[in-house]
Amino acid sequence: MAHDLSDYRKSYDKNALTIEKSDANPFNQFKKWFKEVEEAPGVDEVNAMTVATIGNDGFPKSRIVLLKSYDKNGFVFYTNYKSEKGKALAENSQVCLSFFWPNLERQVIIKGIAERVSEEVSTTYFHSRPRGSQLGAWTSPQSDVIADREFLEKRLADLEKKFNNKEIPKPDHWGGYCIKPVSFEFWQGRPNRLHDRLLYTLGGVHWKLERLAP
């Protein structure tokens, strides 16, 4: 018997989104929204985002990662290049990012092209991570099938001994991607499901801003 969720209802009425009050540059609009969400209570990790890729099996797959930096060039996150997402991006660099900020009833959806950041940038970020996270990048053969949890615990213990009192080098298979946007959609919840949706699309060097029906 199906589990009926038809009574799950919420009215969205915290904010409005208009073209007139939106920045002509979507990066500036994102920065504005990100700051507002940061300053409002209710979201533990404002930088959590969904990354959707097309796998080598032809299926889309989404997962949550953490945004680590952004500027006019794009949005950067880090991962194992040999992971499922890394292999997918090696075959198809088209990607979709999405942010969901329920505390202000907002979403941002970004389509873009993934490019690896430089080794220098990846190495600098790697050494800024806690030592345990650095060891974790070496420990996990991300996305591979493993026998049990003990496999990871043993590898971690071995690596702790190997790198005891030593600097941990960045693995060659680990680094960052910069997602260079071709479109941004800003979504603001509104009453009666008549949500505000503004779409920025890149044409050459200029951004076109349009309103979408909800």
Look at strands 94-101 and 48-54 and give their pairing.
Answer: antiparallel
CB atoms within 10 A of CB 19: 11
Whether 193 sits among the annotated catalytic residues: the reply is: yes
Residue appearing with tokens 């806690």: 130
- The pTM score is 0.94
Burial of 59 (0-12, 13-18, 19+ CB in 10 A): exposed
Asked whether the predicted pLDDT for residue 60 surpasses 80, the reply is yes
Q: Select which of 129, 193, 197, 211 is catalytic.
A: 193
Residues whose CB falls within 8 Å of the CB of residue 12, separated by 6 or more in sequence, listed in order? 105, 188, 189, 190, 191, 195
The CATH number given to 26-212 is 2.30.110.10
Average pLDDT over residues 144-172: 95
Residues 4, 10, 11, 15: is their CA dihedral positive or negative?
negative
pLDDT digits (tens, 9 = 90+) for 195-204: 999 999 999 8
Confidence of residue 6 (pLDDT cuts 50, 70, 90): confident
Tokens describing residue 53: 């890729």
**pLDDT higher than 80, residue 47:** yes
Encode pLDDT of 116-132 as tens digits.
999 999 999 999 999 99
Please state, in angstroms and rounded to a whole number, the distance separating the CA atoms of residues 82 and 12. Answer: 41
Q: Looking at 28-42, 102-116, 136-150, 176-190, which range is the least confident one? A: 136-150
Ordered by start, the domain boundaries in the chain are 26-212
The answer to whether 20 and 32 have CB atoms below 8 angstroms apart is: no
3-state SS of 177-206 is EEEEEEEEEEEECCHHHCCEEEEEEEECCE
Angle, alpha carbons 48-119-165 (nearest 5°)? 85
